[in-house]
């Protein structure tokens, strides 16, 4: 891989709660290469958002804390940098798009004023007129019709899909090197979701930013991601390029996610959700956190006693890591699945 732009190493994040310490993220490592789209997938509560937000200074401390780990952005240490430097990075070199644009937009300011403000904060030499011109261009780029007029409207005058377009316009306003998109389509209708995917693609073509796409939606990952990190109960359980993840998954959890994916060409009765619930992050199961739900662990002691380390299962040219004691047994499953899929 090219020199990564963002590196996360052995990151652990905890929250103190009334019920005990929540281990939201445990020993997570991943890299982001310039210009790539890295998908982070897993069920709700698996630590996807916290793994990213914590290194950007966006979790409340307390109750949150980062007892161990490292994170660098363009070689700079994110975990020790000043909060003013972090603020400068956010909205500048690192931009973010969240699930619900209504909570990220200010209801009492026009869409245009908010985008212009984002430009002016990070570019002190820009005039108000130029910022406004650039704002209209950005709104056109993300497909807001009549941008010249709608620039003066308030968030409540925009539909959900249009608000998300405006958020994407704001996110790319300062030509970021990294765009964090956390469940960017989750709050939207299916038809609008497809449009937002196209807008994200256009945004990437425009900025060449690397994108961290955080989502529970494997369909979105298939559409956009180059590489995929699969998280379960706060840990990375599998990591590979998107083709490999879909065609040769080597972790039973990933295989379960694939089987529960609602494919457009699938009959509804073929959907097989993973049985059981994600575990408690306060008192996780011993050994592999997935073992109570895992079809291949049944009766195997090691799954109940030893946390499986993330280890290489691929070849040098196509790195592929899995954290399953029995990853070798899954080697030919992808081919078998393909054979039975029709």
Contacts with ligand ADP, residue ranges (CB under 6 A):
15, 17, 22, 24, 42, 44-50, 60, 63-64, 281
Q: Is 300 helix (H, G, I), strand (E, B) or coil?
A: coil
Name the binder of 260 from ligand ADP, Mg ion, none, CB < 5-8 A by kind.
none
CB of 55 to Mg ion, least distance (A): 14
C-beta of 24 vs 89, nearer to ligand ADP? 24
Backbone φ and ψ for 307, nearest 5 degrees, come out as: -70, 120
C-beta of 58 vs 202, nearer to ligand ADP? 58
- Edge-to-edge strand ranges of the sheet holding 76-77: 20-32, 6-17, 64-73, 76-77
169 preceded by a cis bond (ω within 30 of 0): no
63 preceded by a cis bond (ω within 30 of 0): yes
Gyration radius of the chain's alpha carbons: 21
CB of 323 to Mg ion, least distance (A): 21
Name the binder of 284 from ligand ADP, Mg ion, none, CB < 5-8 A by kind.
none
CB of 51 to Mg ion, least distance (A): 9
The full 3-state SS of 156-187, as one line of letters, equals HHCCHHHHHHHHHHHHHCCCCCEEEEECCCCC
C-beta of 45 vs 308, nearer to ligand ADP? 45
C-beta of 118 vs 239, nearer to ligand ADP? 239
CB of 98 to Mg ion, least distance (A): 9
C-beta of 118 vs 212, nearer to Mg ion? 212
Listed residue (274, 271, 300) closest to 42, CA to CA: 274
Give contact residues for Mg ion (rule: CB under 5 A).
Answer: 49
Name the binder of 46 from ligand ADP, Mg ion, none, CB < 5-8 A by kind.
ligand ADP
């Amino acid at each position: 891989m090219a020199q990564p732009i963002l590196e996360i190493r052995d990151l652990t994040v905890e929250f103190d709660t009334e019920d005990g310490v929540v281990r939201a993220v445990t020993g997570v490592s991943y890299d982001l290469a310039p210009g790539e789209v890295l998908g982070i997938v897993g069920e709700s509560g698996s630590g996807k958002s916290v793994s990213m937000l914590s290194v950007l200074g966006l979790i409340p401390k307390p109750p949150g804390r980062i007892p161990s780990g490292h994170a660098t952005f363009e070689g700079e240490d994110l975990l020790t940098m000043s909060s003013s430097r972090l603020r400068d990075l956010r909205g500048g070199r690192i931009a973010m798009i969240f699930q619900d644009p209504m909570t990220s937009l200010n209801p009492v300011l026009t869409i245009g004023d908010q985008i212009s403000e984002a430009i002016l904060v990070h570019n002190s030499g820009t005039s108000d007129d130029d910022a406004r011109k650039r704002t209209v261009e950005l709104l056109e780029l993300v497909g807001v019709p009549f941008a010249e007029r709608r620039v003066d409207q308030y968030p409540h005058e925009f539909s959900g899909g249009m608000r998300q377009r405006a958020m994407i316009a704001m996110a790319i306003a300062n030509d970021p090197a990294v765009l964090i998109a956390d469940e960017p389509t989750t709050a939207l209708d299916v038809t609008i979701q497809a449009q937002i995917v196209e807008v994200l693609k256009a945004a990437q073509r425009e900025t060449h930013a690397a994108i961290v796409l955080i989502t529970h939606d494997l369909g979105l990952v298939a559409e956009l991601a180059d590489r995929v990190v699969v998280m379960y109960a706060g840990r990375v359980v599998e990591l590979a390029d998107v083709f490999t993840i879909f065609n040769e998954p080597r972790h039973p959890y990933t295989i379960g996610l694939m089987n529960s994916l609602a494919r457009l060409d699938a009959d509804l009765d073929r959907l097989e959700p993973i049985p059981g619930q994600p575990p408690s992050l306060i008192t996780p199961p011993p050994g592999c956190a997935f073992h109570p739900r895992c079809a291949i662990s049944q009766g195997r002691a090691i799954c109940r006693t030893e946390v499986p380390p993330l280890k290489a299962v691929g070849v040098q040219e196509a790195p592929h890591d899995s954290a399953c004691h029995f990853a070798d047994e899954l080697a030919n499953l992808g081919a078998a699945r393909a054979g039975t899929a029709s």
